[in-house]
Chain A
Amino acid sequence: MTEPVAASIGTPPATTGGVLDRVEVGGTRGGPPTRRRRARPPQRNPLRAWLLLAPALLVLGGLLLLPLVRVTTMSFEDMSGLRALARGEGDFVGLDNYREVLGSRQLWLTVLPNTVVVAILCVVLTVVVGTLAALLLESLRPRTRALVTMAILTAWAVPAVTGTYIWIWIFNPGDGLVSEAAQALGLVDPGGENWFTNRYAFFAIVVINVVHHGYPFVALTVLAGLLTVPAELTEAAVLDGAGAWRRFWSVTVPLLRPVFAVVTILSTIWDFKVFTQVFLMPGGDGANREVLNLGTWSYVEAFGQIEYGIGSAIAVVLTITLLLITSVYLRTLFREGELT
């Protein structure tokens, strides 16, 4: 793979005092191209460019765009019952579906709080734990690092279904690991406490599960970033008398801001639509109405009831919410022109 032109040109950064304003350094506006041949404008033949893009566009269009358009149109239709589904179209009902979704008390009292609070907790904890793991990995020698990385990766490699069942076993009332420990310590009655029936305990377990499953991705991505932090920057900071804490916040974090943006946005998107980790928990499939989140609620209310119009409306609302959150993130995380 060839290096992008933009990345291979420019002036080297100043080693003193240049850390914090590194943002302004570099870019295509700057120095002259170092390799002449590469600088020849490639867009002589637009047709060729489109031809090369065509396979990717077709796949994206087929897999992403088409369903997106269909979901949007369906959210304005009355697609209830198998009959409408078999016919493949419903009557146009305007905003009725949206009115029904947004007018639901359950949505505002249970579903949204569950979703949002859990998502925030999960994102924050995933990023913090992942970053700590990355810092640990960075400080290890290569062989040890490989070993620890593999250990961490197993948590990621385990499918969400399997992982969820493992956490259920651990917290299983009566004979789970945690239950037995709590009973041995005399914290709960011998019969055991059923944590799954308590909304807060239920979601505490969900958060542990989601963070455990999600942090390896953050750790590896942040580690990849950490390894590209030039040694001379850290050296300069050490010479300036900065301690580890200061170096982390003033050198590492600003440099890795794009990395954090990527992992935070991806985690937010994933954690907002957590489904498996809730649905498979005891009572999470709708039997315990207190613990419904957006994913399980839409499944139970829309797909279980064969109300595809409602389901589509929920999907559209979720997509727009996530787009908004993402754009707010991008705005706050980056001053203008930083993310290219």
Chain B
Amino acid sequence: MFSRRLSTRLATIALASATAFTLAGCGEDTTSGESGSNNSQSGAGKTLTVWIMEGTNPDATPFFEKVKTDFKAQTGADVDIQFVPWANAHDKFVNAVGGGETPDVAEVGTTWTPEFADAGILADLSDRVKDKDPLVDSLVTAGELDGKLYGMPWYAGVRSIVYRTDVFEELGIEPPTNWDELLAAGQKIKASKPDMIPFPVAGDSTFGLLPFVWGADGEVAEQDGDAWKSTLDSEQAREGIQFYTDMALKHGLSTPAATTWKETNLRDEFVKGTVAMMISGSWTPKSILQKAPQLDGKIGAFSIPGQDGGLSRSFVGGSHLAVFDNTDEKDLSWKFVELMTSESFAGDWASQSSFFPGIESLLEKAMAKDDPLVSPFAVQMKDAGETVPVTPAWGKVEAKKTIGAMLQAILSGSKSVEQATADAAAEMTDTLKG
């Protein structure tokens, strides 16, 4: 009898706690409300739902207040801005597609646009964007599928090398102009500053590695007819990957910890003052100085040097604004995209977020400013910008972490460069089949 009483009570306890867990696991849903308006314009009484990635602009509220006011004045419609964290944005889009609850307009990462366009969930913007000349080329390319434009270039960034000017000056090092000089600079720092990490090689940073693949004249994948074939196992790509990982394994310019670092870890370490050089995005110097004001005047940037001079190509990544195909308000949605990519708003957004605008004239303006923390990136973007294979299946390669897994396997010593690149190339070719 004791066991009965006991088990009944305990079952109740267990059930109650189990229920609590189940319920806690349920996500919250967002609903867009219709707010009334007696404005007589076409959009009066309507509300657009817009998804924007979180964190691009450190304080986006004033910006979007202004956008909302202007849009209301122009069309009479309201805008419901919802912020989505980058980390789960792709999942959120996929779930929204499955549930038929996509927004009207959304910021879409440039590498995702072909995938979403291929699925038929984005509206074709070709007829609305007659003149593509003022737009940044690489962003237009990334937004196109089968000759049709699905993503309106909004903003972009590029990675170059951020370094400590005080360390370079102290040791009499000039910004490197080829790979040998880059290696020599690292070795000099290692010899004189044993507490510093001269050039951390972050294992979980695809876009830190790719400049070395491209810099050695390698490619990630090549298109042959309709099929894509990964060329990470080509001689050139292997040479670049070998050089990049040798800096860590052979020359000890990195640290074992970096094997599992993402770009954010890289930046955190740099903020601590322990890193001398790192591959870093054009949007980071501002946030580094915010977090570490003591580094003010001590950091600089240089474009990623080429193997034997010139520049190594670097990935230009950014965001498109896309209209979703199943919105009831295509015209209104496009008006919103037009407003956001207008010179004044796109310019404001770029300067507030330290990204480069997707409009050529504004990009040139940024290049003309002789800011040592801006112009090396602008040069990189304009002269040595590159994009990953423009195919709907690229998102799957990213999700599978093919390149990150390859790099980590080499850095942790579990695979040789030959083995790791061969495995990665086979996997990527398979994934790119769709």
Contact (A288, B1) CB under 8 Å given A339-B7, A340-B7: no
Chain A residues within an 8 Å CB radius of B18: 266
Compute how far the CA of A290 lies from the CA of B259 in the bound complex, rounded to whole angstroms. 14
Chain A residues within an 8 Å CB radius of B260: 194, 196-197, 282-283, 287-288
Say yes or no for A221: interface residue by CB 8 A criterion: yes
Chain A residues within an 8 Å CB radius of B98: 85-86, 88, 308
Compute how far the CA of A105 lies from the CA of B2 in the bound complex, rounded to whole angstroms. 50
Chain A residues within an 8 Å CB radius of B3: 22-23, 26, 255, 257-258, 338
The residue on B at minimum CB distance from A189 is B256
Contact (A197, B1) CB under 8 Å given A259-B6, A305-B396, A306-B94: no
Chain A interface: which of B335-343, B371-379, B398-406?
B398-406
Say yes or no for A101: interface residue by CB 8 A criterion: no
Say yes or no for A285: interface residue by CB 8 A criterion: yes
Contact (A283, B204) CB under 8 Å given A86-B120, A228-B6, A306-B396: yes
Q: Return the CB mask of B62-106 against A: 1 if under 8 Å, else 0.
A: 000000000000000000000000000001001001101000000
Contact A191 B9 (CB under 8 A): no
Chain B residues within an 8 Å CB radius of A262: 10-11, 14
Chain B residues within an 8 Å CB radius of A61: none
Compute how far the CA of A81 lies from the CA of B14 in the bound complex, rounded to whole angstroms. 39
Contact A225 B10 (CB under 8 A): yes
Contact A27 B1 (CB under 8 A): yes
- Least CB distance from A63 to B in Å reads 8
Q: Return the CB mask of B12-28 against A: 1 if under 8 Å, else 0.
A: 01100110001000100
Contact A13 B1 (CB under 8 A): yes
- Least CB distance from A203 to B in Å reads 15
- Least CB distance from A173 to B in Å reads 4
Contact (A192, B6) CB under 8 Å given A88-B98, A290-B414: no
Which residues of chain B from 93 to 140 have any CB-CB distance to chain A below 8 Å in the complex? 94, 97-98, 100, 115-116, 118-121
Contact B13 A221 (CB under 8 A): yes
Chain B residues within an 8 Å CB radius of A86: 97-98, 100, 119-121
Compute how far the CA of A305 lies from the CA of B4 in the bound complex, rounded to whole angstroms. 49
- Least CB distance from B204 to A in Å reads 5
Q: Return the CB mask of B295-306 against A: 1 if under 8 Å, else 0.
A: 000000000000
Q: Which of A257, A288, A303 touches B91 (beta carbons < 8 Å)?
A: A303
- Least CB distance from A73 to B in Å reads 15
Say yes or no for B56: interface residue by CB 8 A criterion: no
- Least CB distance from A215 to B in Å reads 14
Say yes or no for A96: interface residue by CB 8 A criterion: no
- Least CB distance from A235 to B in Å reads 15
The residue on B at minimum CB distance from A230 is B2
Which residues of chain B from 289 to 346 have any CB-CB distance to chain A below 8 Å in the complex? none
Contact (A194, B1) CB under 8 Å given A221-B13, A259-B6: no
The residue on B at minimum CB distance from A217 is B17
* B: contact size bracket: 35 or more
Say yes or no for B8: interface residue by CB 8 A criterion: yes
Compute how far the CA of A88 lies from the CA of B6 in the bound complex, rounded to whole angstroms. 47
Contact B13 A228 (CB under 8 A): no
Contact B204 A192 (CB under 8 A): no
Say yes or no for A185: interface residue by CB 8 A criterion: no
Compute how far the CA of A263 lies from the CA of B7 in the bound complex, rounded to whole angstroms. 12
Q: Return the CB mask of A214-251 against B: 1 if under 8 Å, else 0.
A: 00010001001100101000000000000000000000
Contact (A85, B97) CB under 8 Å given A255-B6, A282-B261: yes
- Least CB distance from A180 to B in Å reads 12
Say yes or no for A42: interface residue by CB 8 A criterion: no
Contact B256 A173 (CB under 8 A): yes
Chain B interface: which of A3-11, A46-54, A110-118?
A3-11
Which residues of chain A from 59 to 96 have any CB-CB distance to chain B below 8 Å in the complex? 63, 81-83, 85-86, 88
Contact B257 A228 (CB under 8 A): no
Contact (A258, B120) CB under 8 Å given A22-B3, A287-B404: no
Which residues of chain B from 246 to 291 have any CB-CB distance to chain A below 8 Å in the complex? 255-257, 259-261
Say yes or no for A172: interface residue by CB 8 A criterion: yes
Say yes or no for B203: interface residue by CB 8 A criterion: yes
The residue on B at minimum CB distance from A285 is B401
- Least CB distance from A138 to B in Å reads 15
Chain B residues within an 8 Å CB radius of A221: 10, 13-14
The residue on A at minimum CB distance from B260 is A282
- Least CB distance from A129 to B in Å reads 18
Say yes or no for B412: interface residue by CB 8 A criterion: yes
Contact (A304, B14) CB under 8 Å given A228-B9, A259-B6: no
Say yes or no for B5: interface residue by CB 8 A criterion: yes
Chain B residues within an 8 Å CB radius of A283: 203-204, 259-260, 408
Contact B401 A82 (CB under 8 A): no
Compute how far the CA of A10 lies from the CA of B97 in the bound complex, rounded to whole angstroms. 59
Contact A289 B405 (CB under 8 A): yes
Chain A residues within an 8 Å CB radius of B22: 63
Compute how far the CA of A256 lies from the CA of B2 in the bound complex, rounded to whole angstroms. 10
Say yes or no for A153: interface residue by CB 8 A criterion: no
Contact A194 B94 (CB under 8 A): no
- Least CB distance from B124 to A in Å reads 16
Say yes or no for A121: interface residue by CB 8 A criterion: no
Compute how far the CA of A27 lies from the CA of B431 in the bound complex, rounded to whole angstroms. 61
The residue on B at minimum CB distance from A159 is B24
Which residues of chain B from 179 to 221 have any CB-CB distance to chain A below 8 Å in the complex? 203-204
Chain A residues within an 8 Å CB radius of B10: 221, 224-225, 258-259, 262
- Least CB distance from A150 to B in Å reads 17
Say yes or no for A25: interface residue by CB 8 A criterion: yes
Compute how far the CA of A174 lies from the CA of B257 in the bound complex, rounded to whole angstroms. 7
Chain A residues within an 8 Å CB radius of B7: 258-259, 339-340
Compute how far the CA of A266 lies from the CA of B20 in the bound complex, rounded to whole angstroms. 13
Contact B2 A228 (CB under 8 A): yes
Contact A300 B401 (CB under 8 A): yes
Chain B residues within an 8 Å CB radius of A83: 118-120
The residue on B at minimum CB distance from A286 is B401
The residue on B at minimum CB distance from A281 is B260
Contact (A192, B256) CB under 8 Å given A13-B2, A81-B119, A287-B408: yes
The residues of A with any CB-CB pair to B shorter than 8 Å are 4, 6-7, 10-11, 13, 22-23, 25-27, 63, 81-83, 85-86, 88, 172-174, 191-194, 196-198, 217, 221, 224-225, 228, 230, 255-259, 262-263, 266, 282-283, 285-290, 300-301, 303-306, 308, 338-340
A-B contact pairs, 19 of them (CB 8 A): A6-B8, A23-B3, A26-B1, A26-B4, A86-B98, A174-B255, A196-B260, A197-B408, A221-B10, A283-B203, A285-B401, A287-B401, A287-B408, A288-B260, A288-B408, A300-B401, A301-B400, A303-B94, A305-B431
5 shortest interchain CB distances as A-B pairs: A26-B1, A304-B399, A282-B260, A82-B119, A173-B257
